[in-house]
Chain A
């Protein structure tokens, strides 16, 4: 059954949730992952984006103490919520469906 409605996620949200799909990650790592797609944000702008995702209940974030070279530092970690995972899957299904149909269907006949 093809996905009929447009995804509710923006491209950026789709990307962030996609990065977190493999499991929880520190914000620093998510930001680095975005940079590989040439999306460069300052740290505050990135955490503002994450904060909005948290407020939309698509991800949850918390602080954790980690030891780096014998020093204890905190880092903000994130994971997707079930709602975030559901919306990501819906968007993914939509894009996959468009990609599949574009190679099989002549739209004028559809």
Chain B
């Protein structure tokens, strides 16, 4: 490094050892690359700065490692000491919880409302938005939707002619599989039974990675013009209406006007789309050539993304194909665009936004609850000011007092969380019933308090404890123990006063946000 150069000036800000061992050889290599590659000065300067930052980060990391490196015996001892300290704090917190039932009850009820609302809503969000759909790699399944550019209205129906063209031209999906639905009557049961379900093209089985539990999926021969009519029945239909016949695959059943050979039985519980009746699946065939009137029929279409493809790329491709078809058929396709959405987005539809909005509102309610409990703790800390001062005078560190306040908060929050979970257990299914659904939303019927929801409840409880205990900690006297012990009147310290005022301001702000949100929501329904 030349003296006075930028590299040398930067080196002054690094420890000598780092300069000698890391920075100097790295700068030498950079210099060599600059000469070899004829790099511009500005790029060299940027690389030099990046290199200096990397050295600085390594220096900080090493210093932190050295600072906190402890011998295993120290670590074991520290762990034991921490455990025993926590156990003492916990016992003390439980004693206080029992000693002041009115205070504890008020705090627990407040927290129950806040935490319970959050758990109940999270249970719904988990069931609808987070739980995987019952198909393999469902995130890679893409549904094609049609949108009218002029009105902005989007529908799942696709024009038959367009689907046939897009099947040939698209490259983002393994295949664009068309499907539709059917309703019919089963006459082979003891009494005529209405049946409903989808009609699948053979590609649908690959797209959904669906394998019948008995028999086979449809193949290309099943959808030929004069093929023998076939059907795949649901496990439930096989069991309840066809007597679990083990020789079902060699039987034909009368479905509507046609007698169909049963070629497969679906896995137990299979439904497509999720939550909709799937008593049987019929084969779906396309005409040999696109009809002259491209909108002669309306069907659905989905596909599985090829390896390495993304939903965004599929969206771009179908958008380009839409423009192409609008140019080829201006009389029929102008103003029509096709877009690709993940299966979940299609199924969840408009339910996603209100759900997340409600969860955000519940979070506001929890914050208000935390502010209220924080205020209660703050008021209580006044009456315990002398107790804390005495402990400080006897040699307790401020960290010990903070740890005790935190443990007391944790006990309140965990009890509040437990009661809130019990409330949510009844509330969550009721909430799910209130979610507006224009189409069946997957998961809404399966809302429950499962492991994920319990983990969320624990997290929220601990988070709440940290928030409202934090308020109480701010209220701890900053003055020495002498002043608190000598004080005859119990008055708030300046820190506590500031904390109390801030809490009131935060509560008013959150309440205003909630009120405005509720008002806007009501207005949107009006």
By a beta-carbon cutoff of 8 Å, the part of chain A in contact with chain B is 27-28, 31, 42-45, 47-48, 50-51, 63, 68-69, 71, 73-76
Q: Does B423 contact A (CB under 8 A)?
A: no
- Scoring B28, B30, B32 by chain A CB atoms within 10 A of each residue's CB, the highest score goes to B28
CB atoms of B29 and A28 under 8 A apart: yes
Which chain A residues lie closer than 8 Å to B26 at the CB level? 42-44, 47
Contact in complex: B35, A27 (CB < 8 Å): no
Q: A44 touches which one: B23, B28, B31 (CB < 8 A)?
A: B23
Least CB distance, B61 to chain A, in whole angstroms: 10
Pick the contact of A43 from B35, B36, B51 — CB < 8 Å?
B51
Q: In the complex, are the beta carbons of B22 and A47 less than 8 A apart?
A: yes
B362 at the interface (CB under 8 A from A): no
B92 to chain A, nearest CB (A): 48
Q: Are A51 and B29 in contact (CB under 8 A)?
A: no
Distance of B98 from chain A, by nearest CB (Å): 56
Q: Which residue of A lies closest to B23 (CB)?
A: A44
**With A44-B51, A45-B58 as contacts: A27 and B29 at CB distance below 8 Å:** yes
Question: How long is the Cα–Cα vector from A63 to B22 in the complex, in angstroms?
Answer: 13
Q: How far is the CB of A48 from chain B (nearest CB, A)?
A: 5
- The answer to the question of B55 belonging to the interface, with a C-beta cut-off of 8 Å to chain A, is yes
Q: Count chain A CB atoms within 10 A of each CB in B25, B26, B32, B58 and give the residue with the most.
A: B25
Interface bits B13-56 vs A (CB < 8 Å: 1, else 0): 00000000111111011111001100000000000000100110
Query: What's the nearest-Cβ distance from chain A to residue B264, in Å?
Result: 44
Q: Are B22 and A75 in contact (CB under 8 A)?
A: no
Residues of chain B within 8 A (CB-CB) of A76 are 24-25, 28
Which of A44, A63, A71 contacts B55, CB < 8 Å? A44
How far apart are B51's CB and chain A's nearest CB, in angstroms? Answer: 6
Task: Give every chain A residue within 8 A of B35 (Cβ-Cβ).
Answer: 68-69, 71, 73
- Taking a contact as CB atoms under 8 Å apart, the answer to whether B58 and A28 are in contact is no
Query: In the complex, what residues of A have CB within 8 A of residue B32's CB?
Result: 28, 68, 73, 75
Cα separation A77 to B35 with both chains bound (whole Å)? 18
**Chain A: CB-nearest residue to B36:** A68
8 Å CB contacts to A: which residues of B381-439?
A: none
Residues on B with beta carbons closer than 8 Å to the beta carbon of A74: 28
Q: How far is the CB of B49 from chain A (nearest CB, A)?
A: 13
24 A–B contacts from the bound complex (CB under 8 Å):
A27-B25, A27-B29, A28-B29, A31-B29, A42-B26, A42-B51, A42-B54, A43-B29, A44-B22, A44-B23, A44-B51, A45-B58, A48-B21, A48-B22, A48-B58, A51-B22, A68-B35, A69-B35, A69-B36, A71-B35, A73-B28, A73-B31, A73-B35, A76-B28
Residues of A near B24 (CB, < 8 A) are: 76
CB of B54 within 8 A of CB of A44, answer yes
A63, chain B: closest CB distance, angstroms:
8
How distant is the Cα of A50 from the Cα of B28 in the complex, in angstroms? 15
> Which chain B positions have C-beta within 8 A of A27?
25, 29
Least Cβ–Cβ distance between B165 and chain A, in angstroms: 43
Contacts of A68 in B (CB 8 A): 32, 35-36
> Cα distance A68–B51 when bound, in Å?
22
Residue of B nearest to A77 (CB): B25
